[in-house]
Amino acid sequence: MIQFKTGRTYDAEQVLEITIEQDKEDEFGIREITATFVDASRHIEGRVHTVASAFAGIGPIVLEAYDAGHYTPI
């Protein structure tokens, strides 16, 4: 599990607890990622499925999808 501090505060400091289910990289350096997250500060849990550059970190990738509403609540 990865803990990603967003620098935001809601009910408490926002720290996403992220579990990677799939992280595949193709020959062009594009990653296909499926991950679940728990945001205890906002009482939200979800699953994201997205693509990103091989150079991007998992925390920012998941946060970007979450912020855009591109996740499935679980």
The answer to whether the CB of 47 falls within 8 A of the CB of 70 is no
Q: How many domains does the chain have?
A: 1
**Residue numbers of the domain that contains 19:** 2-73
Residue 6 has pLDDT above 90, yes or no: yes
* Residue-wise pLDDT tens digits, 60-69: 999 999 999 9
Question: How many CA atoms, within 13 angstroms, populate the side-chain half-sphere of residue 13?
Answer: 7
* Residue-wise pLDDT tens digits, 32-43: 999 999 999 999
Residue 54 has pLDDT above 90, yes or no: no
Residue 47 has pLDDT above 90, yes or no: yes
Residue 49: per-residue pLDDT:
98
Residue 30 has pLDDT above 90, yes or no: yes
